[in-house]
Amino acid sequence: MEHCHECDRNGAIVRPEKQKASLDLAVHAPAALRTCFNVAQAWGLSARDTRVLLGSPPESTFYKWKSGKVGIVSRDLLERVSYLLGIYKALQLLLPAPHAADAWIKRPNDAPLFNGRSALDVMLSGNVADLYLVRQYLDAQRSGWA
């Protein structure tokens, strides 16, 4: 059988998104965490708040990550990092002025999800689901479904 770049070893067609999904996300963890720390700085977050957003790792682990020493990371951490970077990107697209995008995260919001609280207050509950909800809210704002 002739092999093509869109086929796996057995000749089955593999959609490009499946190929990308098979990448080992942990390989990108050091760069993703470094970017998260830069986002936290842009948002003016404390180390405590940043730790909570990253799943409340032990303080020693947090500072190892911050210094660039990233070992094996959990799926939970990768999910959190993905949501945080998605939130940051969505804000940059919705509010192109960097200071406005970075300030939004701490600004009280009357949307039902926030009920007068800031997005940061919602995300600091510590639940990964709350990061997802903020990300979903911003994606809806971008698409006009809000």
Residue range 70-124, pLDDT digits in tens: 888 898 999 999 999 999 999 999 998 989 999 999 999 999 999 999 999 999 9
Q: What are the angstrom distances between the C-alpha of 106 and each of 53, 60, 110, 129, 140?
A: 14, 27, 13, 19, 19
pLDDT by residue (tens digit) across 35-51? Answer: 999 999 999 999 999 99
The end-to-end CA distance of the chain, in Å, is 50
Q: What is the pLDDT of residue 146?
A: 56
How confident is the model at residue 126, as a pLDDT? 87
pTM of model > 0.85:
no
